[in-house]
């Protein structure tokens, strides 16, 4: 059974690589490149993009009144997001250090580059930055919690879990008492290997 799961995971990894390649090709199609982690957009492309920008005032005048009214509710979510961000950062710096679990790099999840697109107005850029931060916090939280779960309770649920994190398929089957007792330490050691450099064979 574990071999079958490993085979499926390998196929998923291959599909993810294909998807990443397709994303790269789509970005390059619009002449936006990544250079040492920085987005590069030529002045010519930026000028072309600006032709499609709808000004902020026009954007507001043509906005659905309902969406304007609920905007404060949407943006109020920044408070719990910031609290979650700060709380998880403190949590992992205390608990992961205590148990020898490699800490998650917060900066890897805080991606904010949409504001560089010339076809977005100021309001849209703020919206995109907000969504980027929210998505980044949730992805950051997900990785911290997945490492926590692998360390303390790497057991799959009896019920199907939609959208499970990437570590979940490698957890012990529900009810596998012998596997859990004999393999828990191994799962913990796998976490400790995350930051260790791999030596070539």
**Distance (Å, rounded) from C-alpha 191 to C-alpha 10?**
19
Tens of pLDDT, residues 108-150: 999 888 888 888 999 999 999 999 999 999 999 999 999 999 9
CB 56 within 8 A of CB 122: yes
The number of residues making up the chain comes to 201
| Pick from 197, 194, 198: nearest CA to 92 | 194
Residue 135 to residues 77, 81, 116, 173: CA-CA distances in angstroms? 12, 10, 18, 30
Residue 46 has pLDDT above 80, yes or no: no
Is pLDDT of 199 > 70?
no
Distance CA 31, CA 37 (A): 15
User: Is residue 174 scored above 70 in pLDDT?
Assistant: yes
Q: At 156, is the pLDDT very low, low, confident or very high (cuts 50, 70, 90)?
A: very high
Res. 82: pLDDT tops 80: yes
| Contact criterion met (CB below 8 Å) for 77 and 134 | yes
pLDDT at 118: 84
Q: How far is CA 51 from the centre of its chain?
A: 32
Q: Average the pLDDT over 101-106 and give the result.
A: 96
pLDDT, position 20: 56
């Amino acid at each position: 059974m574990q071999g079958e799961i490993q085979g499926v995971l390998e196929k998923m990894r291959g599909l993810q690589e294909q998807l990443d390649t397709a994303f790269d090709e789509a970005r390059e199609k619009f002449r936006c490149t990544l250079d040492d982690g920085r987005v590069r957009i030529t002045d010519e492309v930026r000028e072309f993009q600006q032709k499609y920008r709808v000004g902020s005032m026009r954007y507001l005048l043509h906005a659905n009144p309902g969406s304007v009214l609920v905007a404060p509710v949407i943006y109020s979510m920044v408070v719990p997001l910031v609290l979650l961000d700060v709380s998880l950062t403190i949590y992992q710096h205390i608990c992961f250090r205590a148990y020898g679990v490699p800490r998650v790099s917060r900066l890897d999840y805080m991606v904010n580059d949409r504001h560089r697109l010339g076809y977005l107005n100021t309001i849209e850029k703020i919206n995109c930055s907000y969504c980027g931060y929210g998505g980044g916090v949730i992805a950051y939280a997900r990785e911290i919690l997945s490492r926590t779960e692998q360390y303390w309770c790497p057991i799959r649920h009896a019920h199907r879990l939609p959208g499970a994190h990437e570590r979940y398929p490698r957890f012990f089957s529900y009810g596998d008492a012998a596997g859990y007792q004999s393999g828990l330490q191994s799962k913990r050691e796998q976490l400790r290997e995350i930051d260790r450099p791999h030596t070539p064979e």
